[in-house]
Structure 1
C-alpha cells in the first residue's frame, strides 16, 4: 500500500481503500465461479469437486465427502520466469 500511496500521490487511507476494493472484487468474482486473471502475473479460478467416498485416517471407516469448490492459483509465465531467473 505504501508504494501505491507514493506512486499515485494519494493518502494512506485512500491507498488502503483501493487495495481492499481490489481484493473484495476478486473474492466476489471467485464466489460467482468467475476466473480472475492478471496477465503474466497470475490467475485464480474455482475448481468443483463431486462427492466421493474417502476414509477416516484414524479409524479407516469409509466416509462420504460432500461436493465442494476450492480456489486454485496458477502463476503466469512472466512471474515464473522472474522467479526462476538467475540474478547475480
Structure 2
C-alpha cells in the first residue's frame, strides 16, 4: 500500500484487486463510484455514515469576527458550510491499538 503514509485511490483499487480479484480497471471503477456517491450525497447536504468507520457531517457555521494574527486587525468571517469527520468508536479503538 502507501509507502509515504498516504492512502490513495490507486492504493484502494490495488488492494481491492488483490483481495477480491476484480480486474484493476474494475477495481478502480468501483473505488471511483463509491467516492462519487459519497461526494454527491455530501453535495446534496446529506450526512454520510459508514458503520464501523465513521461519519461525515456537514455543519453550518455562522458569521463571526476573526483576527488577522499578524496585524491584529479584526475581519468578518462569512458564514459557511464545513465538513467534519467523526471516527466511530470501533475505528478509534483500532487506532489506539495500532499506536
| Number of equivalent positions | 87
Moved over 4 A (4+): none
Q: Pick from 89, 93, 97: which aligns with 1:77?
A: 89
Deviation of 1:3 after TM superposition, in Å, equals 2.5
Any idea what SS the aligned residue of 1:45 has? strand
Name the structure 2 match of 1:10.
22
Name the structure 2 match of 1:62.
74
Over aligned residue pairs, what C-alpha RMSD do you find? 1.8
Deviation of 1:7 after TM superposition, in Å, equals 3.3
Structure 1 unaligned runs (5+)?
A: none
Any idea what SS the aligned residue of 1:85 has? helix
Q: Which has the larger radius of gyration?
A: 1
TM-score by length of 2: 0.77
Structure scoring higher RCO (CA < 8 A, sep ≥ 6) equals 1
Structure 2 unaligned runs (5+)?
A: 1-12
Any idea what SS the aligned residue of 1:57 has? coil
